[in-house]
Chain A
Amino acid sequence: MKTDKDKISVRQLFFVFTIIVSSPATRFLSKYMAVNAKQAGWVSPLVCTIPFLALLFIIDSLLKKYQDHSMSDIIEILMGRFIGRLVCVFYLLMTIYFTAMYTRYYVERLTSSIYPYINNSLLIILTLIPIAYMLRSGFTVIARMSEVLLPFIGAMLIMLSSFLVSKVRTDNVLPVYFNDIVPIVKSSLAPAAILAFLFYLFFLSDNIVNLKSLKPFGYITAYVNISSITLLSFITIGVLGASLTERSPMPTLAVVKQISLMDTIENIEAIIVAIWIFADFTLITTFFVIALNLIKSIFRLSDTKPLINTLAVFMYFLSMGICSTKFELEEFSTKVLIPLNLILGYVFPAVLFVLSKLKKNNPAQSNEKG
């Protein structure tokens, strides 16, 4: 039986969420925005505010109605056992795919930035072994670690931004016309797809306490995430310009490399690499835990710890065989995963919300009355 000690709070969950958003945000968002909306790309994260707040409202409404249930249980209650399990299996496959994909992205990023001569296979093994070891102590360790390290990441972001503000050229980020509305909305799909990871995190909702404060913490998280993504894209596009940002393989790293303080402090890209390593580690671990929790819900298991090692070996082979080059993976992410994630992260929760409104009684409540 689980005690409160093994559970995490909503606040910790949102800390984890902010960290896992920062990883893909620094990797490809500025580039995607520059490709689609050119100099107006930095405005596009602001468009995500509306769908993200709607998602928060939906999750809050579902969890209030079906208290002490995980999201997979809620899906089964609302859609029936067979369809509900089928949907959960699909989410499980997606989660496993995301774990393998982000492991590969993590390794590719390390080999293209700091370890060009190291084999991918070795880096994947060195990533998955600590994850498998750490997960034996439960997800609470990762949540607490995120709670401690997120303020440092925030401080680093502010520090790097303040160093770079003077290098921002106004002609790189302006003008923003009415004609830019369609490209801005189009480029907002990528940040919206990343923010949709929030729904995946609630597959752990049976491990979360203090769900009553979901909305207030959710509003703060929305503000922090959207403003930091806007700041990051503003700085990147503002310093490099849209044309250079869309052609650069890692625009954020290219921007950070330009920092020079009074010609003495230079080459501080190690800071951004450290943030990447920690953010990717948290991201991979979180999706690993969600996959384990989904397996637990689908097969009604009492414990998933014995599955960790075998799943880690499976993740190794999957992340090695997921693509032959990084470009294939990026193309697949842009063409397939962004629309798919929008459906799974926003459209499907909206369907659940409608079903919950159509369904009069919560079965748990009706059992209590009976």
Chain B
Amino acid sequence: MSILAVILIILLITVIDMLPLIKSKQRKEAAVLIALGLITIAYGCYYSTHRYSASLVNVLFELLNMR
């Protein structure tokens, strides 16, 4: 999956969920949804560029210095 496709899919899903929140003026929920969408885009882009080497577990092992 290319980066553009990842961004488009996440944006589409987030916007669809965002519309009823904007209509009902649930600002806090909308803000959390935007934050979650941005985190998903960031991790999705990271995954799509490191598809064969991405390993959160390896990153955590290095952070914890446990190997």
Contacts and interface: CB of A to CB of B under 8 A. Distances in A.
A316 to B, nearest CB: 9
A306 B57 contact: no
B54 A324 contact: yes
A309 B13 contact: yes
B46 A321 contact: yes
Given A307-B29, A313-B9, A314-B39, 5 more contacts: A299-B32, A307-B33, A309-B17, A321-B54, A324-B52
Interface of A: 295, 299-304, 306-307, 309-311, 313-314, 317-318, 320-324, 328-329, 331-332, 335-336
Contact of A323 (B14, B26, B32, B57): B57
B33 A317 contact: no
Interface in B12-49: 13-14, 16-18, 20-21, 26, 28-29, 32-33, 36-37, 39-40, 43-44, 46-47
A322 B66 contact: no
Contacts of B64: 336
B40 A306 contact: no
A159 to B, nearest CB: 37
A306 B20 contact: yes
Contacts of B44: 313, 317
B14 A328 contact: no
A324 B55 contact: yes
B61 A332 contact: yes
B58 A324 contact: yes
Contacts of A313: 9-10, 13, 40, 44
Contacts, number: 86
Contacts of A328: 55, 57-58
Contacts of A321: 43, 46-47, 50, 54-56
A301 B55 contact: no
Contacts of B43: 314, 317-318, 321
Q: Which 8 A-B pairs have the closest CB atoms?
A: A321-B54, A314-B40, A321-B47, A306-B17, A332-B57, A323-B57, A324-B55, A317-B44
A310 B18 CA distance: 10
Nearest to A306: B17
Given A307-B36, A328-B55, A336-B66, A317 B47 contact: yes
Contacts of B10: 310, 313
B60 interface: yes
A335 to B, nearest CB: 6
Contacts of B50: 321
A314 B43 CA distance: 8
B20 A323 contact: no
Contacts of B32: 295, 299, 301, 307
A318 B29 contact: no
B53 interface: yes
Contacts of A306: 17-18, 20-21, 26, 29, 33
A306 to B, nearest CB: 4
